[in-house]
Amino acid sequence: MAQHALLAFDLGAESGRTILGTLDGRQLNIRELSRFPNGMAALLGHLHWDVLQLFQEMKKGLRMCAAEVTAEPESIGVDTWGVDFALLAPDGSLVGLPYGYRDPRTNGAMEEFFRRVPRERVYELTGIQFIQFNSLFQLFAMVRERCPLLPVASDMLFMPDLFNYLLTGARRNEFTVATTSQLYNPVTGDWEEELFAALGISRDIMQEIVPPGTVLGKLEGEICRETGLKEVPVIATASHDTAAAVAAAPAEGEGWAYISSGTWSLMGVETPKPIITDQSREHNFTNEGGVENTFRVLRNIMGLWLLRQCREAWAADRRYRYQELSEMALSAPPFKAVIEPDHPSFLNPPDMPEAIRNLCRKTKQPAPESPAEFVRCILESLALKYRLVLDQLREIHARPIETIHIIGGGARNNVLCQFTADATGVEVVAGPAEATAVGNLLVQALGLGCVGSLAEIRDIVRQSFSVVRYQPTKTPEWQSAYDRFRGLQS
């Protein structure tokens, strides 16, 4: 069988990477060509993404590919986080730096928008969970503040769409990332006119929605000359990073759920149709697009962001490795305090350990003291949150859930994986840790016709990457802690 070389850009909230994939029959091998930092930059009281620097790093990755790889890549694909977007002027130039989703300008935007369109109606139209930084509320915040960028903008591109545009000149909105916006109606399969009318913005600002695996065009000539690559096709892969990761879950059958674990934990199930009911709205589940017209019915959970921010707070005294922190957690007493990971005070506090202490005091629990106690509190609380979401998934989803696939960077955290098995009482299958890049590459292969289906993608993942299985150890302590955790929800 022929070998196929594919190139993926995987851009996360903390770092970006250039990944080369080689598909040889039913075996995928991956190699990291470059890694570069990412993060929201503070500028004049707001948080923005430095997309110009990110694009420079992407071009460096292209140059490295041209210089180090004997086989020209057959395609290029980009995945990023969801909801954030860029605006273009009529001449195609960028209108300002895109805002980051943790920017405070959306504070109060949801509640104010609901005066225009009731909460229940917004969910009925979109099936998207309510988070203040959804694209809908970011746009409304700009309308509310009479942002001068909106009147001069002719096109809106989500983050992966922007980089695809910079690579090819093509302006399209890819399906999986478009569905995260709360501007898309998954029943009609199009942008929702009623919401754009409520915003006072023409829906003409949006682009044609294309499915994952669509060939957008070829690498522009100027970039080819600058990097040394030929006119490689650029594919709109599963452009939302969670969609790419779920596509690479090594699952079989139907009785499984997933947790795409990283800065955020995205926990849910894959379904052929969206689930939009009163019950799914009450539990704040979202319906985001997947590969082959599937939907990811899931909850966004704050995830390892809490651990990352604690690590940053401690860095002045000691720079802990993540594995070291996880191992330290086992030396701390269990269930000293449990916290709600999605508490609003954790969105972007100046001092995460202090925010955790304050919430513990507010809920009349002893606050963690040592780094080991903080980490144990975070990991146990995440596992208990997964149990809560699993229980809610079982309420809205008719099929049994017997396995949880943990994919993404959190699959390397053996303590969190075991805690998840213990808290939920089901087997946890961890891996691949590089699921997002793997999904990005294999959806490109799907677009090129090298792979025939989503089922075939998952078969290749199973043959190419090992997993670790964690069996639950049922103890009364976990049930007691879960009862305490449920008490925090009221």
**Which pLDDT tens digit goes with each residue over 179-208?**
999 999 999 999 999 999 999 999 999 999
- What is d(CA 358, CA 384) in angstroms, rounded to the nearest whole number? 20
- For 193, residues 6+ apart whose C-beta sits below 8 A from its C-beta are 203
The residue among 131, 489, 132, 475 whose CA lies nearest residue 339 is 489
Measure CA 425 to chain center.
25
Residue that the structure tokens 């915003």 belong to:
199
pLDDT in the model for residue 120: 98
Residue that the structure tokens 């225009």 belong to:
116
Question: Residues 41, 108: contact at Cβ < 8 Å?
Answer: no
Record: fold of 3-240: Nucleotidyltransferase; domain 5 (3.30.420)
Residue 52 phi/psi, 5° resolution?
A: -65, -45
The residue among 355, 423, 357, 418 whose CA lies nearest residue 387 is 423
- Which tens digit of pLDDT belongs to each residue from 345-394? 998 899 999 999 999 999 999 999 999 999 999 999 999 999 999 999 99
Q: Give me 391's structure tokens.
A: 């229980």
pLDDT in the model for residue 47: 97
Give bridge partners of residue 9 from the DSSP assignment.
18, 78
The residue among 114, 259, 252, 275 whose CA lies nearest residue 195 is 114
Identify the segments of the chain with pLDDT beneath 70.
1, 490
Q: What is the pTM of this model?
A: 0.94
The amino acid at 333: P
Catalytic residue numbers? 241
- What is d(CA 159, CA 163) in angstroms, rounded to the nearest whole number? 7
- Please count the other Cβ atoms lying within 10 Å of the Cβ belonging to residue 285: 29
- For 235, residues 6+ apart whose C-beta sits below 8 A from its C-beta are 75, 76, 77, 213, 214, 215, 216, 443, 444, 447, 448
pLDDT in the model for residue 350: 95
Question: Residues 237, 8: contact at Cβ < 8 Å?
Answer: yes
Residue 219 phi/psi, 5° resolution?
A: -55, 130
Domain span(s) for CATH 3.30.420.40 in the chain: 3-240, 249-431+452-490
Give bridge partners of residue 286 from the DSSP assignment.
298
Assign domain 249-431+452-490 to its CATH architecture: 2-Layer Sandwich (3.30)
- What is d(CA 105, CA 147) in angstroms, rounded to the nearest whole number? 11
pLDDT in the model for residue 49: 98
pLDDT in the model for residue 2: 77
Q: Residues for the chain: how many in total?
A: 490
Task: Return the exposure string of 453-475: e unless at least 16 CB atoms fall within 10 Å of the residue's CB, then b.
Answer: ebeebbebbbebbebeebebeee
Question: Residues 458, 417: contact at Cβ < 8 Å?
Answer: no
